Every structure is written in C-alpha cells, then in structure tokens.
C-alpha cells in the first residue's frame, strides 16, 4: 500500500469541471489527486504561416505553472524572459498528442490553441494536461459543430495519458504523485487512444535503468489506468463524446 492508501495499480481520484472559464470555446478544470490544471481550447480563424493555403488546420499547445503551484515558489517564466526546456518539452508533447487524433483536413484553416495552466501541482501535470486538454478540445469542436462551421466531429478517437514508474522498492506503480515521482528510479509517461494504441511513450531512467520486463509491466498498468480515465472523459462529454470517431481521416 502507498502513503495515500492507494494500491499500486490505482489512479488518484479525478474530477473535471467543464466550462470553468467563460470566454474560451472549450474550458475545463481537471483535478487529478491534488494536481489541478485549467485547460482552455481557443479557436482562431487562421493558421500559422507554415500551414497557410493548405486548406487544413493546426493544433498547438502552451503549458505553464502558476509560480506557487509548487511547494517552493518558482520564478515566473515571463519575468525570466524565456521558457524553460521542461516547459517546451511538455507543450510540444501536448500538441503532438492531440494532433494524432484529429483530422486536420476537416477543421478548415483554423488553429486550436490549447492552454494548460497548472494552478496546483502534485505530480503528473503533463498527463493531466493531456487528459483535460482532450476534453476542452472536443468541447471547442462542439461549438464549431453547433454553429455549423464544421459538419462532422474531426476527432477520430479518444485520447488520455497517465504516468507509471518504478519506485525505489522495485515496484511498478501507476499514477505517481509528486513525492513518489521525485523518488522514482524510472518515470514513464504514456499517451494512448481509445482503441488501445500508443501515441507517445516517454520512459526515462534518470541515474538508473530498466529492464524489458519492467517495461512490459508498466505498459500494462498504464493501459488499465487510461481505460478508466477514458470512462470519465466519456461521462463528461456525453452526447458530444459519442460523435468522436464519426470521421476517419481521409488523408490516411
């Protein structure tokens, strides 16, 4: 049993508040244990220069933490005048993951801006961001459908993420909180689709390594956890969620 009484294969409790902020086309507050992230999806009616004139859309993500989302206050990245390598890695991951389940040809020359702002951090902020951002994005596409600006839901499958790791006791463990994560020998973030395929696997042994067998156990844990998370996503999205997959990208 873990400090917070969970078993090794248990997720932390997840709650999602839809329409948390009023202005964005899609907005949720996602809470995974003590990690809280505001995920906003904004639709802009143009694409970045490198995408212009192709008749298709783009999805890009930004990620940030409030300075005191963590135990010690961090210097604000706007004050430092630059974005850290960690932030860049995370926002590239979020954007890439979401693009893997959207048929960009079906959204027209529009950009979906995903903003994941962590207001309280307790481990797993990047995976919570992906899980929440997926919901916010589907809500935003819902607005486009409602106003007939697009005809079909361009999202081809569900998408969610979680972390797994190997703790110092050698156990493969699901959904690490901050205390567990900071001690883990191996840390792995996994993004999967509703059909059980992988979108991203990022496994890292900082000052440690891991075996093929450990890898397989972690993948199994992650798969089970992600299935549970998707049930929550479906619950929140309701009828709109049932439209996910109504198109299959015609560019494949």
147 binds its own copies (CB under 8 A): no
CB atoms within 10 A of CB 157: 18
- If one asks whether residue 81 binds its own copies (CB under 8 A), the answer comes out as yes
Going by the DSSP 8-state scheme, the letter that residue 66 receives in this structure is: -
Written as six digits, the tokens of 146 are 């409602």
Can you tell me the distance from the alpha carbon of 12 to that of 15, in angstroms, rounded to the nearest whole number? 10
Nearest distance in Å: CB 48, its own copies: 13
Residues 196-235 touching its own copies, rule: CB under 8 A, are 196-212, 215, 219
How many CA atoms within 13 Å lie on the side-chain side of 138?
Answer: 28
- Whether the Cβ atoms of residue 32 and residue 12 lie closer than 8 Å to each other: yes
Nearest residue to 108 (alpha-carbon basis) of 50, 24, 39, 43? 43
124 is in an annotated binding site: yes
The answer to whether 37 and 30 are in contact (CB under 8 A) is: yes
Answer for which of 115, 172, 175, 180 binds its own copies (CB under 8 A) is 115
**Closer residue to its own copies in complex, CB, 9/223:** 223
Q: Which stretch binds its own copies (CB under 8 A): 7-15, 78-86, 169-177, 231-239?
A: 78-86
**To 10 degrees, the CA torsion angle through 212, 218, 221, 226?**
-120
Residue 169 binds to its own copies (criterion: CB under 8 A): no
The window from 3-11, 46-54, 95-103, 237-245 that contacts its own copies (CB under 8 A) reads 95-103
Q: How far apart are CA 146 and CA 207, in angstroms?
A: 51
**117: contact with its own copies by CB under 8 A:** yes
Residue 89 found at the interface with its own copies (CB under 8 A) = yes
* Number of residues lying near its own copies (CB under 8 A): 68
- With b for 16 or more beta-carbon neighbours within 10 A and e for fewer, the 194-218 pattern comes to beeeebeeebeeeeeebeeebbebb
Contact status: 24 vs its own copies (CB under 8 A): yes
**34 contacts its own copies (rule: CB under 8 A):** yes
Is the Cβ–Cβ distance between 65 and 74 less than 8 Å?
Answer: yes
Of 7 and 79, the one with the shorter C-beta distance to its own copies is 79
Annotated binding-site residue? 205: no
SS3 3: coil
Name which of 84 and 242 has its Cβ closer to its own copies: 84
Query: Does residue 158 touch its own copies according to CB under 8 A?
Result: no
Q: Is 46 in the site for its own copies (CB under 8 A)?
A: no
Residues that bind its own copies (CB under 8 A): 21-24, 27, 34, 36, 38, 40, 42, 44, 62, 64, 66-71, 73, 76-89, 91-92, 96, 99-100, 104, 113, 115, 117, 119-120, 188, 193, 195-212, 215, 219, 252
């Amino acid at each position: 049993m873990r400090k917070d009484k969970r078993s090794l294969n248990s997720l932390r409790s997840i709650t999602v508040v839809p329409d948390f902020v009023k202005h964005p086309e899609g907005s949720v507050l996602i809470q995974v244990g003590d990690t809280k992230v505001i995920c906003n999806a904004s639709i802009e009616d143009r694409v970045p220069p490198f995408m212009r004139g192709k008749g298709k859309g783009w999805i890009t993500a930004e990620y940030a933490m409030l300075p005191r989302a963590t135990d010690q206050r961090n210097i604000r990245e706007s004050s430092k005048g630059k974005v850290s390598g960690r932030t860049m890695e995370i926002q590239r991951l979020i954007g890439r993951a979401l693009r893997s389940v959207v048929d960009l040809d079906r959204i027209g020359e529009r950009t979906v801006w995903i903003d994941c702002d962590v207001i309280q951090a307790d481990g797993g902020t990047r995976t919570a961001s992906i899980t929440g951002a997926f919901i916010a994005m589907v809500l935003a596409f819902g607005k486009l459908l409602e106003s007939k600006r697009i005809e079909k839901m361009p999202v081809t499958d569900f998408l969610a993420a979680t972390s797994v790791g190997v703790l110092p006791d050698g156990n493969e463990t699901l959904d690490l909180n901050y205390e567990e994560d900071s001690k883990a020998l191996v840390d792995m973030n996994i993004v999967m689709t509703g059909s059980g395929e992988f979108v991203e696997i990022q496994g890292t042994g900082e000052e440690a390594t891991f075996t093929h067998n450990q890898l397989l156990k972690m993948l199994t844990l992650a798969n089970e956890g992600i299935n549970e998370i998707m049930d929550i996503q479906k619950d929140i999205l309701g009828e709109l969620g049932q439209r996910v997959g109504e198109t299959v990208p015609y560019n494949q």
